[in-house]
């Protein structure tokens, strides 16, 4: 600090010295130049007045004597020469002969002086007319050498004084710097001590000026800072114990969605140490890696990924730290795998109980109404053969058709009530799909069917029941699409199961109904167009094969059914 202080003092002194030298040099040059011009004009005019009479009487000897006396008398006169009105040389002071180029120089009566290069240096040539130029002209050259010598001498004196003052300034600055910076060095040492962790460091000073006030303020600040840091550490320890005691994952991310910190619950849930994920984007914890790209982290249920690659369902809560500055977010993620499994088991149990109860009811109802339907159908057939009246025959046809429809409903009820155990054998799913498409070919004239069937391993299943499921799914898709509709059937082999997906671009299923489509007797079709048992039967068949059936749908876009069957 002292060194910089001395350097600045020296720099300021030298800058002032240089500026003073330049200013004095410029001012002195202007002053001496003006003085030289005034002297030249006065001398030339006086000489012009003195030589009027000798020139008129053509006394050249006297003219020459006046010229020589003027040159010897006046300092800084380089030369003097006189010409007549026609430019003829009358007298001069040049010892080596008169330079002829001076006579060729143009005379400007409006400007009484001009700068000429004589070869030995520059001179100011002053011209004074004799009798307004009718009798001739007097030319006097004033030398600037002595003027420049004065200027240079003055500049050297100023520079010498500047150097002396600079040296003295360095000494005084060094002494003053040491004196002034001693308490400042104490402050600097104090800040270094605090920076190194010695928060309770106190400065000792014997000064009584503002530095002493600053030192006392520093000591008080150091004391308060030490107390505050200690309290903050205790608070941090309490907070850490509290957060680590929570089983849910608590994650702190910055505004760029990069992980800053998390609790032990997050480490247990995801399997990463904090050092492994610190600085990484939160995306690595989501099953879909780009779920948060250019978007806010969504609240609610989502699928997350552990370090070992396994996925789990979790509930995420996202709270900003500072809304105005968007400094970051606190994420709380709860693993709901057990809750999901328990809910699925409860749903499956309820579904099984519902199917069992409805199955018993359906079996009883079917047996009770099957015999009357058989009698009605038999007598209707007999009457159709004997009746010749068209009106009566038309009515009998209606009775027969509705009786057959009721019989089909009863048959479906019996199928639903007495679902037989699957007859397990080796099944090629792709072949079963082809068989179903061949059966449904008459219904597919105006429907585009696209298949993407990958090679699949054989699975152990009941081929007829699998065909029943696929046929039911395709029938529903055919009924939901318009004339320009399309159905896409895909199969794929996964690690331990095969997957069948049937996608259509039909009317779709509303969000309110999608959770009920596997319930018995639930249907969205018009009255008389369906019993609502088809998907329930499919659900039961797939569950008996230890598989799963899922549905995704959007109204006006279409529906996708996904069936998963294990590979044994």
pLDDT the model gives residue 501: 92
Query: How far is Cα of residue 475 from the mean position of the Cα atoms in its chain?
Result: 51
Q: Which residues contact 66 (CB under 8 A, 6 or more apart)?
A: 47, 50, 51, 54
DSSP class of residue 28?
H
DSSP β-bridge partners for residue 563:
500, 549
pLDDT the model gives residue 520: 65
> Contact, 502 vs 551, CB < 8 A?
no
- Read off the tokens for 252: 């702190």
> Contact, 524 vs 555, CB < 8 A?
no
Q: What is the pLDDT along the chain (568 residues), one digit of tens a residue?
A: 556 666 777 777 778 777 877 887 788 778 877 877 888 888 888 888 888 888 888 888 888 888 888 888 877 788 888 888 887 888 888 877 777 666 655 555 555 667 776 666 677 888 888 888 888 888 888 877 777 777 788 778 877 877 787 777 777 767 766 666 666 666 666 676 666 666 666 666 666 566 666 666 767 677 677 777 777 777 777 766 666 667 788 888 887 888 888 888 888 888 888 888 888 888 888 877 665 555 567 788 888 888 888 888 888 888 877 655 557 788 888 888 777 767 766 666 666 666 566 666 666 666 677 778 778 878 888 888 887 788 888 888 888 877 877 776 666 666 655 555 677 888 898 998 888 888 777 777 677 888 899 998 988 888 888 888 888 888 888 888 877 788 899 999 888 899 999 998 888 887 777 777 776 666 655 544 555 667 777 887 888 888 888 888 888 888 898 999 998 6
3-state secondary structure of 568: coil
Query: How far is Cα of residue 291 from the mean position of the Cα atoms in its chain?
Result: 18
Q: Report d(CA 149, CA 158) in Å as an integer.
A: 14
> Whole-model pTM above 0.85?
no
Place of tokens 């331990």: 496
Among 142, 139, 144, smallest CA distance to 80 is for 139
Helical (H) or strand (E) element with 140: strand 136-143
> Contact, 487 vs 449, CB < 8 A?
yes
pLDDT the model gives residue 448: 83
Query: How far is Cα of residue 171 from the mean position of the Cα atoms in its chain?
Result: 55
Domains of the chain: residue spans and CATH:
2-151 (3.30.450.20), 245-335 (3.30.450.20), 341-417 (1.10.287), 425-566 (3.30.565.10)
Q: Which residues contact 393 (CB under 8 A, 6 or more apart)?
A: 384, 387
Place of tokens 């058709």: 401
- Read off the tokens for 436: 């179903």
In the Cβ-directed half-sphere of 251, how many Cα atoms lie within 13 Å? Answer: 31
- What is the three-state SS of 125-139? EEEEEECCCCCEEEE
> Contact, 358 vs 520, CB < 8 A?
yes
- Read off the tokens for 556: 């006006």
- Read off the tokens for 416: 């639903």
Among 471, 557, 567, 469, smallest CA distance to 518 is for 469
Neighbours of 437 (CB within 10 A): 16
Q: Which residues contact 234 (CB under 8 A, 6 or more apart)?
A: none
pLDDT the model gives residue 104: 58
CA-only gyration radius of the chain, Å: 58
> Contact, 199 vs 232, CB < 8 A?
no
* DSSP conformation letters of 495-542: SSEEEEEEEE-SS---TTTTTTTTSTT---SPTTS--S-HHHHHHHHH
> Contact, 564 vs 461, CB < 8 A?
no
pLDDT the model gives residue 424: 84
Residue 313: φ, ψ to 5°:
-90, 140
CA-to-CA dists, residue 307 to 269, 276, 277, 281, angstroms: 9, 10, 10, 14
Q: Which residues contact 306 (CB under 8 A, 6 or more apart)?
A: 269, 270, 271, 312
């Amino acid at each position: 600090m002292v060194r910089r202080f001395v350097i600045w003092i020296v720099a300021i002194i030298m800058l002032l010295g240089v500026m003073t030298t330049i200013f004095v040099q410029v001012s002195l040059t202007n002053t001496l130049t003006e003085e030289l011009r005034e002297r030249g004009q006065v001398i030339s005019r006086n000489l012009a007045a003195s030589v009027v009479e000798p020139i008129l009487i053509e006394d050249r000897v006297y003219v020459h004597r006046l010229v020589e006396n003027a040159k010897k008398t006046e300092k800084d006169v380089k030369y003097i020469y006189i010409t007549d009105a026609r430019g003829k040389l009358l007298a001069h002071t040049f010892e080596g002969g008169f330079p002829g180029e001076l006579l060729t120089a143009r005379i400007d009566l409006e400007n009484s002086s001009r700068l000429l290069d004589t070869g030995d240096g520059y001179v100011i040539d002053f011209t004074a007319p004799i009798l307004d130029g009718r009798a001739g002209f007097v030319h006097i050259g004033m030398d600037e050498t002595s003027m420049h010598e004065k200027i240079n001498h003055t500049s050297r004196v100023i520079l010498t004084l500047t150097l002396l003052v600079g040296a003295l300034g360095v000494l005084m600055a060094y002494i003053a710097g040491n004196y002034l910076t001693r308490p400042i060095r104490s402050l600097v040492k104090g800040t270094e001590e605090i920076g190194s962790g010695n928060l309770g460091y106190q400065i000792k000073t014997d000064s009584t000026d503002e530095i002493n006030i600053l030192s006392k303020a520093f000591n008080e600040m150091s004391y308060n800072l030490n107390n505050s840091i200690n309290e903050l550490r205790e608070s941090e320890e309490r907070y850490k114990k509290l957060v680590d005691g929570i089983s849910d994952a608590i994650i702190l991310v910055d505004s760029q969605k990069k992980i800053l910190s998390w609790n032990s619950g997050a480490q247990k849930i995801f399997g990463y140490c904090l050092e492994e994920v610190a600085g990484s984007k939160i995306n690595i914890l989501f099953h879909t890696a780009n779920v948060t790209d250019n978007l806010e982290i969504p609240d609610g249920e989502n699928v997350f990924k552990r370090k070992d690659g396994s996925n789990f369902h979790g509930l995420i809560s996202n709270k900003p730290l500072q809304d105005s500055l968007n400094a970051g977010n606190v994420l709380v993620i709860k693993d709901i795998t057990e809750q999901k499994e328990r809910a699925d088991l409860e749903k499956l149990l309820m579904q099984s109980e519902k199917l069992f109860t409805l199955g018993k009811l359906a079996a009883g109802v079917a047996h009770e109404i099957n015999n009357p339907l058989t009698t009605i159908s038999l007598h209707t057939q007999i009457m159709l053969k004997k009746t010749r009246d068209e009106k009566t025959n038309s009515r009998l046809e209606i009775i027969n058709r509705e009786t057959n429809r009721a019989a089909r409903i009863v048959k479906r009820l019996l199928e639903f009530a007495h679902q037989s155990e699957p007859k397990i054998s080796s099944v090629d799913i792709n072949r079963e799909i082809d068989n179903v498409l061949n059966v449904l070919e008459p219904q597919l004239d105006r429907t585009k069917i696209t298949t993407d069937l990958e090679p699949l391993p054989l699975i152990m299943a009941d081929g007829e029941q699998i065909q029943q499921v696929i046929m039911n799914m395709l029938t529903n898709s055919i009924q939901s699409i318009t004339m320009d509709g399309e159905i896409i059937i895909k199969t794929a082999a996964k690690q331990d199961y095969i997957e069948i997906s049937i996608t259509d671009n039909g009317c779709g299923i509303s969000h309110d109904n999608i959770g009920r489509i596997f319930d018995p007797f639930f249907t969205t079709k018009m009255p008389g167009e369906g019993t609502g048992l088809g998907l329930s039967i499919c659900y039961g068949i797939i569950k008996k094969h230890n598989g799963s059936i899922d549905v995704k749908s959007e109204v006006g876009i279409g529906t996708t059914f996904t069936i998963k069957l294990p590979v044994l």
